[in-house]
Structure 1
């Protein structure tokens, strides 16, 4: 397997994830598109553009081709979606326009949905700038926006043409954002790679400068690429792509009830991973000591293991019922029969879920 790139195998929609020399490859692709007479546009946010003022210009983009949005989860909204569509329409972009997402998960999800919707679908590319988006949201083609009623309730499956992962971009990432990304890294170890989980314990902390980081990012991308290739649109009756949602049914409820932005997505996921472990113990799938091990790993990466303040139980349960992962009105969770091996558990008793929430 090449260290430079990794292929997401989806037949005629397969695409590469570039790791080494990604900035140079991005520059070549922008030039290639222009040589073909195609237009290019970028959706980013103000914080990323401030932190990386020259990155896009050096890759061949012009200022007039970039839409800058406010940073944060609030931009993953109907209003921002409308603003981005108007940005393309006002510049008379046609179907040969290629849209680039330069930012974290919010920008990637939003830009992907804009690309899926504008003129019934235009090409888009991912340039993730956060650890969370590098290991998770930039790969796999899940795009979308939030509604006040819940997270990711509107969206489309729309695969990128390529993903450019440049770990040097993480040097300017605030520590809290880096830690949030580590929650998704830990998730991959818990759902599919016990060896990765053990390695994360041994590292006892990683930073943007850690020499182990590029390998860790690549291992996460390889797991996601395989899962997506096997079950692109999450249609498997059990297991499959749904396993990538480990901890997320809890996490999305936390984000929704606390208010988007109160917890970073990765912080909510970290708490969700602890709760998913507790649920697995209650379902008789894991030994009790697994909870302590998971809490220890999460805490060692400066992530929360519990809620800062209690949240209303009725609202948490309602948010879960609205979650996309329910089946026939019954709660469906991703649990684990071993750390490193996730499964889907259907029809979990709501009373048990309430009991789990009391431990958050």
Structure 2
């Protein structure tokens, strides 16, 4: 069992353990006697788990409501948000009640925004069911939905009361889903914790991608630790002590989100971020910030995990999508790059010819 504390203005704990969902009643009890209703927002893929959780937590003094939303990024739409509000309204949800997000990163992103926007903010609890959800979306208080213009452009900072990462829920996940989550763990290795990369390289894919492996459990805990420390120092992504701060967590995400958008979210998030990390490594190399060895290490680690490091799409649509990235200031694109391993910085306004050359280096 691993317990990690996220030391923000409203501190909370992240529990990483097989069977962690059994802690839900204890978390609800800790919130006080005025909790009368919980809403479990979940995707179809985890309907059975949601029903079990409902039956586990409900009682004479506690109603438990299920709200099923679409799978993946299709959940993060305005009409789905409105549907969730309608359910809460019909159920009579008050400010003392609790929203639970059960599912992957898209589900917990949506659930957090439902909680942030209902009655100007109610409490919520995350139970991520994927590696990606555990390491990335469930921790940190970023919540939101997508629009036709881009990913996560509408949202709010709203921290959970707890995050329960139940490792048992990883069993049965497709290998492709496990790989996708490993992209965010590898990202944490590049920006802050080289020990993550060393463990991936020494253990190999058979252990890293085994949902019952202690190696995967350790990598998840280390990845969450990086995010917890980063958001504790810069929750609202405004910079921290003159450093890149929380923005470092966007490593690989500028092109990654653009790829997701231009492909209609048919490319998995982790796969897109993997390509995006190779792109910013190429970019950093071309402007003289990193050496050949670190550039090649991006490709070798991500290839070892079975993640893509090449892309065949066109530059112009990708560039247009990157221009509406959240980090853009005015007309100036901003990219998180490395100065060296575990030394992230921001590269603002690179020449378009350097962007194009870095993009073309992704061709197989």
Runs of 4+ in 1 over 4 A off after TM superposition: 31-35, 61-64
The 8 Å contact of residues 31 and 60 in structure 1, kept in 2 or not, is answered as no
Quote how far apart the aligned CAs of 1:28 are: 2.2
1:161-216: per-residue Cα shift (whole Å, max 9, x none)?
A: 11011111100211111110000010000110112111111111112121212221
Match of 2:328 in 1: 326
Match of 1:175 in 2: 175
1:19 match: secondary structure: strand
Match of 2:23 in 1: 25
Cα separation, 1, equivalents of 2:90 and 2:216: 41
Cα separation, 1, equivalents of 2:83 and 2:297: 45
Match of 2:259 in 1: 254
1:23 match: secondary structure: helix
1:303 aligns with 2:307: yes
Equivalence map 1:87-98=2 (5 Å): 87-98=87-98
Quote how far apart the aligned CAs of 1:25 are: 1.6
Cα separation, 2, equivalents of 1:44 and 1:265: 19
Cα separation, 1, equivalents of 2:144 and 2:106: 9
Quote how far apart the aligned CAs of 1:247 are: 0.3
Equivalence map 1:43-82=2 (5 Å): 43-50=41-48, 52=49, 55-57=52-54, 59-61=56-58, 65-82=65-82
The more displaced of 13-22 and 33-42 is: 33-42
The 8 Å contact of residues 197 and 340 in structure 1, kept in 2 or not, is answered as no
Quote how far apart the aligned CAs of 1:232 are: 0.6
Quote how far apart the aligned CAs of 1:351 are: 2.1
Quote how far apart the aligned CAs of 1:291 are: 2.7
How many residue pairs get matched? 353
The 8 Å contact of residues 34 and 96 in structure 2, kept in 1 or not, is answered as no
Q: 1:124 to 1:53 in 2, by over 3 A?
A: closer
The 8 Å contact of residues 54 and 66 in structure 2, kept in 1 or not, is answered as no
The more displaced of 263-272 and 64-73 is: 64-73
1:244 aligns with 2:249: yes
1:1-58: per-residue Cα shift (whole Å, max 9, x none)?
A: xx541111113x11111124622321323455684342111100001224x3664146
Match of 1:218 in 2: 221
1:14 aligns with 2:14: no
2:333 match: secondary structure: coil
Quote how far apart the aligned CAs of 1:346 are: 1.6
Say what the alpha-carbon RMSD is for the aligned residues: 1.8
Cα separation, 2, equivalents of 1:33 and 1:195: 37
The 8 Å contact of residues 15 and 161 in structure 1, kept in 2 or not, is answered as yes
Cα separation, 2, equivalents of 1:145 and 1:351: 32
The 8 Å contact of residues 270 and 303 in structure 1, kept in 2 or not, is answered as yes
Match of 1:185 in 2: 185
Quote how far apart the aligned CAs of 1:298 are: 0.7
1:236-269: per-residue Cα shift (whole Å, max 9, x none)?
A: 1651000000000010111111112x10101100
2:4 match: secondary structure: strand
Match of 1:336 in 2: 338
2:323 match: secondary structure: helix
Give unpaired runs (5+ residues) of structure 2. Answer: none
